[in-house]
Structure formats: structure tokens, C-alpha cells
Chain A
Amino acid sequence: MPLIEQPPPPSGGALLAKLHEINAKHGYLPEQYLRSAADKLGIPLSQVYSAATFYSAFSLKPRGRHTIKVCMGTACYIRGGDRLLEKVEATLGLKNGETTNDLVFTLETVHCLGSCSMAPVMRVDNDTYGRMKADHLPRILKKYRPIDIAAQEFKEQGI
């Protein structure tokens, strides 16, 4: 029995669900919400912080509006996944784990998206792209880059 009494543990998976909730709302895990999560769930802040820093899905730093995940699973690797990553890095001017200056894209690698027969695979947010070739990239990235939308709007306004 510890000297300082512990409240009963929250229900199964509650901490993970809470962290996912914060992540979905803010794109990452800001400090203040981690603190309030500890309060709300009745668990030590150190436990929340442990979980927040343990899992790859979470980041304590702000992420871009769109997260690009290049799959580094075995099948994708065998079919050139690391080369694809290089091409994405070159196209965006980013290294794995970084975010573009305009906070639009964050680049990450992920260990298997489970679409192995479509290797190599890349995911942008919840959209999965299979049978990736380097020259598919510009077309795909265009879908997410607002600068083109802005340019479109300007054009419509006759600017």
C-alpha cells in the first residue's frame, strides 16, 4: 500500500482514448491538455506524460495540417520504400520527422500500414496510396496544398 493513496484506475483504454481525442483535436498533444487529462482521469501526470512520450502516434510538438506517412514495412522496403522516402524528402525539402515551414506537411515513417500487396505505400492523413511511384507525388501532394486553393481563389477574384 503506497503512503499516498491512489484513486481507482480509469476504465480500460481510457488514457489511450483521451490522448487520441486530444491528438485529433489539436494535431498533437499540448501540455495544458495533458495536465487536464491527468486531472479528469484521476491518474498521475507522470503516467500521462509517460504514455504521451512512449507511442509513435503522438507528438508533443505541433505537426503540420497534413501528415504524410511513408510505409517502411518489409514488403514496402523490399519494393523500394526507402527510395520512395528519399524522393518525398527531396520533393518537400524535409527530413523524416520534420514539418514544412508553412506548417502544411509533416513527414513521418510508419512501420507497416497493412497494405503490403500494394507496396510501396504512402498515406496522407487517412488516404492510402498504393503502388507508389516517385512521379505520382506531385499530383498527390497537390490535393492537399492550400496554396493552390488560394491561387485559385485569387484567380477567381481577378487578382
Chain B
Amino acid sequence: MKVRTRSDLAKLRSDGLSTLYPPGLRISVGMATCGLAAGAAEVYDALHDEADRLGLYLMLIPTGCIGYCQQEPLVDVRVSGRGRLLYARVTPDRARNMIASLAAGDLPAEGALAYIPEENSELSKPSEALAGVPLLNELPFYSQQRKIVLRNSGLIDPVSLEEYIAREGYQSLALALLDDTPQGVIDHVLDSGLRGRGGAGFPTGRKWQTCHGIQAQSKYIICNGDEGDPGAYVDRTVLEGDPYSVIEGMTIGGYAIGAREGFIYVRDEYPLAIERITQALAQAEKLGLLGENIFSSGFDFNASIVRGAGAFVCGEETALISSIEGGLGEPRPRPPFPATSGLWGKPTIINNVKTLATIPAIIRHGADWYASIGTEGNTGTVVFSLVGKVANTGLVEVPLGLTLYDMIESIGGGGLNGKQVKAIQTGGPSGGCLPTALYNLPITYENMTQAGSIMGSGGMVVMDEDTCMVDVARYFLGFTMAESCGKCTPCREGTRYMYDILTRITSGEGTLKDLELLEEVAEWVKTASLCGLGQTAPNPVLSTLRYFRDEYEAHVKDKRCPAGFCRALIRLTILPDLCTGCGLCQRECPVGAISGEKKKLHVIDQELCTHCRLCYNICPEGAVEIVR
């Protein structure tokens, strides 16, 4: 059946509601890539097989990322009339036990991380029996979050169009096509204050307005799903967990600017996202939500997927265009900007995944609603993947303006294993490292830039006392050097030169002159590079020099690594009074440098030791000492 009218939509909506809130049992397992990496597939299989064995009828859904990745594998169990619980760190054994309990008519409270309240439903409050379980939004990880981009992720079957529609999906497209004009749509987006969530934060409405104003036979809209920032996986989550939100947002965008064709560029490293988007596109086409005369409005729109091939630079707009056109991801000079002359020289809008996923929510709930969230000039929510040396890792969506302290300490739970947080890195290789002295900084585009970083595409990596900030700079330059397309001299030669200097410094061979040259070259690369990759490549260096200069000077003047990380500058020994002879270090050592018998003191052979610190990481007694 094709969806041609609002009542068609309503029919699918009730289909979706009946599977989202079925009578009986519905179990969703978080099976995005991170869930799978934690072993969710085995848990899913265990649930399935055990239910089969016991003859228990249930709906078992592989869903997208539920957000609290630290606690993966996560399982959401809904029993109609009884309650809805979220279980964490589920193992196949526990899964089998759960099925047994459920088959016996019981919804066990032990092992439950939280109760998931449903709005406007019989399950909006926990029953007596489950009163001891905290509500999901009482958990520190969730209490300050506000889900807009992640509104459906982890709650729906990602490729079920019915379930997407049941959660207000495609209402916005109908609204836009049937009740509004392209300019009307643009006005909503302008008034909402939405800024591009790819990192630069350019007002989305303004971009659309420029493109809308150009007369052209063909225009294009492209979804930039080339989330290359290491440490960020928000785009992946949306593409895997809520693909229709991106397609709908893109279709609305196409209507607004006058484009009849769209491309979704997904990076090669996300095979599951590619699969989900491909399925979603096919489904949407089948039901007439893509193609000719959508909602009988006269508007035609088609979208196809383009699969990347491992090049970070393709996240840059003009390089992305070049890649789609048929070749290298080589950036082009701007002007002309893509909005005026982009794909095949035609006016083109490129929007980030999160930006497009937000559009349907804005159209549905109104610009004022969106603008009331967040803060002045920084409206709405922003999503971060909170990772690194932090206690609670996962996806966090919060109103703009929240402080770094709240992000890292309240939501994140502070440093991992009780270690001291030292720095917060945002914006990937284009961003910078902010010290905890800036904990009170409200997270806004301007604040991040002024502080020496950028908002970025969502990665927020927490670093602690064991992280060497000079090495972090070196790591990032190694990245940008490897990903540089090589077209322009500053980026190609400059990143390599900076990387070489940083390698010398971390090896204990750096000089003060090196530091001077480092800063001078950084300035050149920043101002003279052709594209954003080169222009932002020096940011990790410049920000660490700004806030952690003492570490640089220690490396250069004293040949000392204060964090005890740089291999050439440390030595490892095992303290006799703490070692229990458990042998974990011996097994972990990649070069076989540790010898010792069970229950007896273990010893590190200094000739063989490569100072990798794996033993230091794994020792449960803290018996490995780093000698600086």
C-alpha cells in the first residue's frame, strides 16, 4: 500500500502502536554496533532460543542504541499490564534466567537498572512490586538529558516504518507538503535557531534560504554521514537506530530548497548503518514516501546511499561532493560555496545527520518550542558521545548551555576508577583539549571556540592523570597527517613536520627551539590551508600548548613525562611488597618481558620491556610502579 493521505498515515500509525505497545511481552535488545561489540548478539540469541524452548510467546526486537553504552548489553523488557524495566550488563545466562522468570509470570526487579515510564499509558508509573527500582530519568546519567535527536533510538525497531510513524514519524513531512510552503518551512527552521550539528554551527535556516533563492534546474541535498571524528558515534547511532528520521528530514529539506534528489553519504566503517539506511530507503520507496508525488502533493523526491571508502577528509563539504562526483575526496576552493555551486556545479545543501534528524521534530512541535530549549543563540539540544576515561560512557543529549562539570561529573560520574580527570577533548582532530579549570563553562558554540576547541560533531573524550597531553597532540597530528588528502602544501607538509617535532619531544629529544617552530608552523597551517582539515589540524597542538604548556616544558627541559606515559621517558618496576604473584601482568605483556612463578614476586626484564604499561593497567594490586 502507498501512503498518499494523512489517513493512510493514521492506519500505519495504529499498526505501529500495536507492535510498540503490544498485549503481552516485548523485549528490545540494544543491538547497535556498540551493543554488538559488547556481546548483545549472544544475549539476543539466548533470549530467542530459551523462549523457543519454553514455548514463551514474545516480540523480540533488535533495536538501536539505548544510550547508556557503559552498561551494554542492555535489554528493555516490557510486560503489558505489569511494567517496563531496563536491565544492564546482561549475559546469555542471565538472559535465560529472565526468560524463565517471565515464563513463570514474573517481572524480576533484581538486576534491573531502571524503570522505563511510558507517557500516557498504563505503565507511566511503576507498580508496588517495582517501587524500589529507580526511574530511568532519576539516574544521574539520564536526569539532565533531553532526547530530540535520539528520540526514537533504542525504542523502536529501526527498520519498521510503522513504529516510526507511531512515534510521530512523517507527520512533519505531511505538514510541510500539505499545509506549508517551502519558504514557510525555511522560516520555521530559521526561527528555531537550529545550527548545523556537524561541528561548525552555521545556522541551518540561512543555508537553506541561500540555496532556495537560487534559480536552477537541478539542486541537491546531501546528508553528511561521514562521521570521521574518532570518539564520535552519534551519527552512526541515528543512522542505525532511527534511519527514517534522517530520510524524513532530508525530504523536508529537499522540499524547502527545491531539490528533487538527495544522497546519504555513509562512511565505510559503519556497515550496519549502511544496511539500515539501505533497508529504510527501500521501505520508504515501497510505501510511496520517496518517489513521485509524495502525499499527492506534486513533490517528487528520491534519495540514494553513497558508501564512503575510508577517508576522513570526505567529511569536508567540497571533498564529499568531489567523492560523490566520481573520484578522490579532494577539497575545492570556496567560494563558490556549495549552496550556490556544489554537486556537478548545481546548488547543493549538505547537512549533518543530527541536523536532518532534528528537522521533523521542529516542524512538528514548532520553532518556538525548539528555541525555548538551550540558551541564547544556542538553541535546542546537542548530542555527545561521552567516552574515554570516564565512569559512565554513552550517548548524552542535553540542552545547550549545560556546563562541562555537569557533563563529566554529574552525568559522566567523574573519572574512571577514581582517577583525576585532567582534560576534556571535543571536536575530534579539529578540536582541542580543555582543562578542568574550565568546568564551569556552559557548552555553547562560541564558548568552545573561544576556549580553543570547537563544538564538533559530538565526540567528547575524557582524559585523566595518566594521559600525556603532548602525546595526545602527537596522536592527533598523526591522524591528520594520515588523513590529509595532500593537495595543499601547508597541510601536507605542515602536519608531517608538526608530527615529527611532537614525536621527538615525546621521545625526549625535543628542544625549546622545536617548541618555537611548532607554534610558528601551526600558525601557518591554520591560516594558509585550503580546507577545514588543514585549518583545524593545529588545534590540538595549540590548545595543549595553551593549557598544558608545563607538560611540554617538562618533556623538553627535564626529559620527563609528568603523566608517566611516554615510553622513552619511563621505566616500569614491580613493587615487591604489593605483588601477589597472580601472573596477570605476565599474560598481558606483549613481549614476554615479565617472568615469575605463581604466587611469587614477578619481575620485569628491563632489556625486553617496551614500556607499554599494559601491566600497569591490568595489575589489580597497583603493584606496578612507573618511574619517571
Within the complex, are A and B direct neighbours (CB within 8 Å)? yes
A interface vs B, CB < 8 Å?
9-10, 12-17, 19-20, 41, 43, 47, 50-51, 54-58, 71-80, 82-83, 86-87, 89-90, 110-119, 121, 126-131, 133-135
Q: Mark B299-325, 1 if CB is under 8 A from A, else 0.
A: 000001111111110000000000111
Interface residues of B in 356-397 (CB under 8 A from A): 385-389, 393-394
Nearest B residue to A41 by beta-carbon distance?
A: B326
With A79-B389, A112-B229 known to touch, is A118 a contact of B309 (CB < 8 Å)? no
- Contact status B482-A117, CB under 8 Å: no
- Contact status B328-A75, CB under 8 Å: no
With A74-B230, A74-B231 known to touch, is A13 a contact of B263 (CB < 8 Å)? yes
- Contact status B227-A114, CB under 8 Å: yes
- Contact status A111-B304, CB under 8 Å: no
Q: Please indicate which of the listed interface residues B229, B270, B305 has the most CB atoms of chain A within 10 Å of its own CB.
A: B229
Interface residues of B in 587-626 (CB under 8 A from A): 587-588, 590-591, 610, 612-614, 617-618
A73 to B459: give the CA distance in the assembly, Å: 11
Nearest A residue to B306 by beta-carbon distance?
A: A13
With A16-B308, A111-B312 known to touch, is A116 a contact of B614 (CB < 8 Å)? no
Nearest A residue to B263 by beta-carbon distance?
A: A12
22 contacts between A and B (CB under 8 A): A12-B306, A13-B265, A16-B306, A17-B307, A43-B326, A47-B326, A50-B327, A57-B268, A58-B310, A73-B230, A74-B230, A74-B387, A75-B231, A80-B613, A83-B614, A111-B230, A111-B482, A113-B33, A113-B269, A116-B387, A117-B233, A130-B34
Residues of B within 8 A of A86 (CB): 590-591, 610, 612
With A90-B590, A135-B587, A135-B588 known to touch, is A110 a contact of B269 (CB < 8 Å)? yes
Residues of A within 8 A of B312 (CB): 111
Residues of A within 8 A of B38 (CB): 118, 130-131
**Among A56, A71, A117, A121, contact of B309 (Cβ-Cβ < 8 Å):** A56
Q: A74-B425, A80-B617 are in contact. List 7 more A-B contacts (CB 8 A).
A: A13-B306, A73-B230, A75-B230, A113-B269, A114-B227, A117-B233, A117-B386
Q: Closest 7 interchain pairs by CB?
A: A73-B230, A130-B37, A56-B310, A13-B306, A117-B69, A55-B309, A114-B233
B479 within 8 A of A: yes
Q: Mark B20-37, 1 if CB is under 8 A from A, else 0.
A: 000000000000011011
Residues of B within 8 A of A111 (CB): 228, 230, 312, 479, 482-483
Nearest A residue to B264 by beta-carbon distance?
A: A13
- Contact status A134-B588, CB under 8 Å: yes
Nearest B residue to A131 by beta-carbon distance?
A: B38
The bracket for how many chain B residues form the interface is 35 or more
With A73-B230, A114-B232 known to touch, is A128 a contact of B389 (CB < 8 Å)? no
Residues of A within 8 A of B324 (CB): 12-13, 16
Residues of B within 8 A of A115 (CB): 33-34, 37, 233
- Contact status A87-B590, CB under 8 Å: yes
Residues of B within 8 A of A134 (CB): 587-588, 590, 614
Nearest A residue to B220 by beta-carbon distance?
A: A12
B506 within 8 A of A: no
Nearest A residue to B466 by beta-carbon distance?
A: A78
A117 to B237: give the CA distance in the assembly, Å: 12
B428 within 8 A of A: yes
B interface vs A, CB < 8 Å?
33-34, 36-38, 69-70, 72, 227-233, 236, 263, 265, 268-271, 304-312, 323-329, 343-344, 385-389, 393-394, 425, 428, 459, 461, 463, 467, 475-476, 479, 482-483, 485, 587-588, 590-591, 610, 612-614, 617-618
Q: Please indicate which of the listed interface residues B265, B327, B617 has the most CB atoms of chain A within 10 Å of its own CB.
A: B327
A86 to B612: give the CA distance in the assembly, Å: 9
**Closest-CB distance, A2 to chain B (whole angstroms):** 16
- Contact status B311-A118, CB under 8 Å: no
- Contact status B306-A116, CB under 8 Å: no
Residues of A within 8 A of B36 (CB): 127-128
**Closest-CB distance, A144 to chain B (whole angstroms):** 16
Nearest A residue to B471 by beta-carbon distance?
A: A77
**Among A17, A77, A119, A126, contact of B475 (Cβ-Cβ < 8 Å):** A77
**Closest-CB distance, A93 to chain B (whole angstroms):** 12
- Contact status A118-B231, CB under 8 Å: no
- Contact status A75-B588, CB under 8 Å: no
Q: Please indicate which of the listed interface residues A80, A114, A133 has the most CB atoms of chain B within 10 Å of its own CB.
A: A114
**Closest-CB distance, A34 to chain B (whole angstroms):** 14
A22 to B243: give the CA distance in the assembly, Å: 27
Residues of A within 8 A of B394 (CB): 117
**Closest-CB distance, B157 to chain A (whole angstroms):** 21
With A78-B461, A111-B479, A134-B588 known to touch, is A118 a contact of B34 (CB < 8 Å)? yes
- Contact status B323-A74, CB under 8 Å: no
**Among B233, B325, B479, contact of A9 (Cβ-Cβ < 8 Å):** B325
A77 to B618: give the CA distance in the assembly, Å: 16
- Contact status B309-A78, CB under 8 Å: no
- Contact status B612-A13, CB under 8 Å: no
A86 to B592: give the CA distance in the assembly, Å: 12
Nearest B residue to A19 by beta-carbon distance?
A: B309
**Closest-CB distance, B604 to chain A (whole angstroms):** 15
Nearest A residue to B227 by beta-carbon distance?
A: A114
A43 to B328: give the CA distance in the assembly, Å: 13
A131 to B71: give the CA distance in the assembly, Å: 12
Nearest B residue to A91 by beta-carbon distance?
A: B590
- Contact status A114-B269, CB under 8 Å: yes
- Contact status B588-A116, CB under 8 Å: no
- Contact status A75-B344, CB under 8 Å: no
**Closest-CB distance, A156 to chain B (whole angstroms):** 26
- Contact status A75-B227, CB under 8 Å: no
A57 to B270: give the CA distance in the assembly, Å: 12
With A50-B327, A55-B310, A134-B614 known to touch, is A78 a contact of B388 (CB < 8 Å)? yes
Residues of B within 8 A of A14 (CB): 326
Residues of B within 8 A of A135 (CB): 587-588
Residues of B within 8 A of A80 (CB): 613-614, 617
- Contact status A78-B389, CB under 8 Å: yes
With A16-B306, A78-B463, A128-B33 known to touch, is A10 a contact of B591 (CB < 8 Å)? no
Residues of B within 8 A of A131 (CB): 37-38
Residues of B within 8 A of A72 (CB): 230, 479
**Closest-CB distance, B405 to chain A (whole angstroms):** 20
- Contact status B269-A112, CB under 8 Å: yes
